[in-house]
Amino acid sequence: MQKAIKWLDAKGITYTFHNYKEQGIDAATLERWLQHFAADKLINTKSTTYKALPDTEKDCIASQPKAIATMLAHNSIIKRPVWDLGNGKMYLGWNEAELNALL
């Protein structure tokens, strides 16, 4: 996140930062994101939070309703950053070259 914020500031790009770890996230937003990204991409399976989940919750990647419920309960498993570039364009993660091409 720090790289992304510094990069945006250096480029003079106006943005709104929503810290869903502190401010939370709603189901409608997660549903919209899951239209753009597969659950196994949006959920950070390498995070310590995900690894600590019981196996019954780790199967959340298999279905959208389970994925949403798990992300609502444990929002720190959501990969960051999620970019809403407008006009229905979304991007997940940090890759400066790809973002330069998109923006």
What are the tokens at 50?
């995900």
> Which tens digit of pLDDT belongs to each residue from 30-58?
999 999 999 999 999 999 999 999 988 88
The whole-number pLDDT of residue 62 equals 84
Collapsed DSSP state (helix, strand, coil) of residue 89: strand
d(CA 88, CA 60): 25
Task: State the pTM of this model.
Answer: 0.87
Q: How many domains does the chain have?
A: 1
The whole-number pLDDT of residue 46 equals 93
Range of the domain at 30: 2-102
Q: Check which CATH number belongs to the domain holding 40 and give it.
A: 3.40.30.10
